[in-house]
Structure 1
């Protein structure tokens, strides 16, 4: 899961690098391995399946008393980087020396708290370590008595020859210096990398590289000699324009330096960082205009309001473009997109640097005007915007004239929270549209009738479940290829004793805001499972989940209770979620989805295509089904854009091996277009409207008696 923000190029680079790479989840017990690349599997002989979920300690076998292991554990506890060299054991039991570069991955830029993950770059340094051991043994032999040296001279010569052979065959570059910084040895890899700046034997290192004599390389080498301890670091060598990974080891004769070119790895890391920044920007900005989106705007408003003094006023201006739909219909969507971009540019010229212009959706723009003296300042800005947008636009050599309507709310007069101010400004915008468009209106009491209506609904919702006013209706889903009835979606209905049937579009958002949706959602799960348990196998039931149910952290228990009480098989329960659940970027939400998957229930992404990052979410979690939003079905088969989207979604589902369903199928033409493109399931009034639970058996019987896939259930 941790790689949902990394693009495919970065993942490919990690998987093809010569070094082994491990990533552990430091927030879970025993720091299990969450990722391992192909090089690590080759190095150790363990498959990826044998590696994931295990603690790194299995690599040491029974040899866990190495002091370096304690060093590594302390680094993990303190959240810092470290480099250790360990004795590890491959799957076949053979020992190898493993150099581990361990670094934390923080969840935020400030590095506050415990790091979420640790990444370990693994390198088989058996050749180098064995060379150092042989070198130490050779040095020790020199200290023996004269009689021993004489008898061992021949063997020492052979050992030196073997050492030279090893150093020439290693992938690392090797340079050996004496205490005067003179070169006493360098291998062929060093000559290849240094090229024209070669280091002849006997030459002084700093005479060949005078620009580095007082730089980071010299300081690190002197540190190794002064402390008589190895040092490891990465640094850019400006003379060759390369990044080097260096380990300098002091010896009695001077200094042994091992290094390798990591320029490509550094470039890959930079590309990964840029990709992450681009993704973060996309999540908070509108892709068409580059303006902040709703998420960014709400955060900014809440921040500004939190810093506000009692004497400071701010204004929110909501505006729609008058005549935009006509441009879209007559000149096409590309012209409409170009018009939106041009309008966005003009809006930005109307505001100050401290103000914020955002695009929410379609032709809806919102402006935060900060630190105004009073409502008159906001009305001055509104008139400036009206003048700017009333000037003609030139689109593909055609002159286009539009206008705008603007609603204004002032804080704190009309509210202090972002949502309250947006609702009030939207009420004023509705009044401006009703009064002829091309004008602006400042909010006044009485404009928010719909807000008062929401308040009435909010009050009535409390106790509606206990009073028995809520019930479930069930709408069929049909296999488009065969006409077979596959499932029913449970849809919430509210019968108010005085107001009659209240649309879910009116009361569900309010239930989510107030948290009442949590007990209502648990009741809906229990009722849907109880009803579906009476249907013939394998007909399943689909239940919508609210983001508020995930926030309550009681969802998993509620699903278990509903399945247990009803006796419904888990695979006959489908849970539908929207992208807003994953937009929270809460790892606990992902873990909840994983636990639901382990129960055996099926998971579907609802309203696919209406959010910002559907594709990245499909990478974050493997859904069983995606449901195409009805807005892309409505204009089939006449809209070329909708045809292209339908074809792309069907291909995506096929490639990911998940089912593709479409909502809102009303006509034979829509049915034929979706079936031809390869969609698996369909839902809509063409197949049947939602019916009460008591009427479902009749719908099932009709489908069983007829081969017609478009049989109507009512």
Structure 2
């Protein structure tokens, strides 16, 4: 049994011994002294024994002292007991929302599992994550974010069953654990749906009204209709709910999913990709490929768009749709992009000076206020002329920080870099933004261009974008030109640039160099005797990215 100082204090043998001894001495001396004293007061006897009288007074003093000490000791024990109880509550409770914390939630979940198993019930663990909550803290301050969290917990508590527990696992991540009759998962679905309905109501704070969504992952501790096996303990249950939450966020957020066994394999593959990306960056497995850009009227090659590829020894050649979102999430997209740009600048220096190089920029990179300066510095280091570079920015970037994006565009254009608005039509750009932001080109998204394949379903959106570009005096590039039908439809719309598989698959640097050399469009081949451009300082590192 563990040592408990409060219980030990209650059984203080010394204090108890002093009190008992004082009482015994009082009985012994009092039985002799008190009758003598009484007779002396009545005048029928002599004076009592002085020593015994003093002993009696000392016994009385000891009893009073012992009683006071005992009362003070009990009071001190009670204060310490209350402090210990408060410490236990604080150790198990989130100080902001007064929910359980992660450690206490594990214990509460395990205890609920034992009680539910005895009744034949099932325990459901719901993990909740607020979507894009960091933006609330960034835009409105942490005080507003804390107020939202407190209000959210108050709303959730009103919806929970009596035996349910609510916990804040950390930051903007919460969890609910509740029990339900076996085979009756509808009860949990109903709770989750009511949570979403409540979240649809905006959070009205003192100075601002905030709209918020959330994603939820749900797991049960025994096998359900989802086909997942039984969870062995509370930690496994939490892990499964976390995987279901990850799936919900991957599917677009603001939704929920029950855990299924396939999610674990998917997450394991993601972890494999994440590990491979970190290793591949160090080993130079990420290389630039180049897609041709052609003038529709003349059919002449006018430039290339750089596309990232991952030459993985285990998985083969991987497209950016797979690894770029993961690189953004784990914070490696800037390093990856800069290495690819260095290699692309090195490759493009020997192309004919009439050929341009287009590079896509991640929204993550545009959040860096020093991005423009860093890019220009890399251009200087590589010896690549800014006038031949075209930066492509997606529409979604314009809504995160329009002021920062505008300053970057102006800085780059002042140095000769051209700016394109990529995937136009898929985002939320307004005419005002197109008019005010100094773009040099609009790129029509391939999803609209592909509709031109069918003459009876010609895309009115493409025609509207072409008219808009003509009205704003902005050149246009059509992506996704994959066959002659699309090509002919675009030619009838005016002067455009085009790119797509109709002109060939994207190629690596060696294949592009061979293509240009055969066409006489390399600098050294177009100017006999000319020496190639000098290798940049980081040439050793860059050359490793040319070969996998």
What residue number does 1:477 align with?
293
Q: CA deviation at 1:551?
A: 2.1
Query: TM-score with structure 2 length normalisation?
Result: 0.52
Taking the aligned partners of 2:487 and 2:325, their CA distance within structure 1 comes to 30
3-state DSSP of counterpart to 1:486: strand
Structure 1 match to 2:167 = 310
Q: 1:350 to 1:466 in 2, by over 3 A?
A: closer
Aligned counterpart, 1:422: 249
Instruction: Tell me by how many angstroms 1:297 deviates.
Output: 6.2
Alignment of 1:665-684 (within 5 A): 665-684=481-500
Q: Are 1:655 and 2:471 an aligned pair?
A: yes
Secondary structure class of the residue paired with 2:384: coil
Change in CA separation of 1:373 and 1:423 when aligned onto 2, cut-off 3 Å: closer
Q: Which structure: greater helix fraction? A: 2
Larger Rg: 2
Say whether 1:664 aligns with 2:490: no
Q: Is contact 1:663–1:684 with CA below 8 Å preserved after alignment?
A: yes
Distance 1:369 1:476 in 2: 41
- Where 2:283 maps in the other structure, the secondary structure is coil
Q: Does the residue aligned with 2:451 lie in a helix, a strand or coil?
A: coil
Which residue of the partner structure matches residue 565 of structure 1?
381
The equivalent of 2:408 in structure 1 is: 592
Contact 1:457 1:507 in 2 (8 A): yes
1:494-573 equivalent positions in 2, closer than 5 A: 494-573=310-389
CA positional deviation for 1:595: 0.5
Unaligned segments of structure 1, at least 5 residues: 1-295, 316-348, 359-365, 383-409, 430-440, 706-714
| TM-score, length-scaled by structure 1 | 0.41
Name the CA shift for 1:640/1:627 in 2 (closer, same or farther; >3 Å).
Answer: farther
* Number of residue equivalences: 329
Who is 2:453 aligned against? 637
Return the alpha-carbon distance in structure 1 between the equivalents of residues 446 and 250 of structure 2: 26
Partner-residue secondary structure (3-state), 1:664: coil
Give the Cα separation in 2 of the matches to 1:352 and 1:467.
Answer: 45
Alpha-carbon distance between aligned partners in 2 of 1:300 and 1:639, rounded to the nearest angstrom: 47
Gaps of 5+ in 2: 1-129, 137-144, 154-165, 169-173, 178-192, 203-211, 227-236, 522-548
Structure-2 change in CA distance of 1:632 and 1:573 (3 Å): same
Deviation at 1:565, TM superposition (A): 2.3
CA distance in 2, matches of 1:536, 1:442: 56
Corresponding residue number in structure 2 for 1:612: 428
- Alpha-carbon distance, 1:675 to partner: 1.4
Report how far residue 638 of structure 1 moved. 1.5
Map Cα deviations across residues 4-57 of structure 1 (whole Å, 9 max, x no partner).
Answer: xxxxxxxxxxxxxxxxxxxxxxxxxxxxxxxxxxxxxxxxxxxxxxxxxxxxxx
Does residue 354 of structure 1 match 2:198?
yes
Cα pair distance change 1:620/1:512, threshold 3 Å: farther
Q: Does 1:583 align with 2:399?
A: yes
CA pair 654-460 structure 1, distance change in 2 beyond 3 A: same
The superposition leaves residues 262-319 of structure 1 with CA deviations (integer Å, 9 ceiling, x where unpaired) of xxxxxxxxxxxxxxxxxxxxxxxxxxxxxxxxxx96559997777445187569xxxx
SS of match in other structure, 2:263: coil
How big is the alpha-carbon RMSD for the aligned residues of Structure 1 and Structure 2?
A: 4.2
Paired residue for 1:456, among 265, 272, 279? 272
Matches within 5 A, 1:99-178: none
Q: Is the 8 A contact 2:482 2:501 kept in 1?
A: yes
How far the C-alpha of 1:557 sits from its partner, in A, is 2.9
State how far apart, in whole Å, the 1-side matches of 2:329 and 2:500 are: 28
SS in structure 1 opposite 2:198?
coil
Query: What SS does structure 2 have at the residue aligned with 1:611?
Result: coil
Q: 1:301 to 1:352 in 2, by over 3 A?
A: farther
Preserved CA contact (<8 Å) 1:314 1:368: no
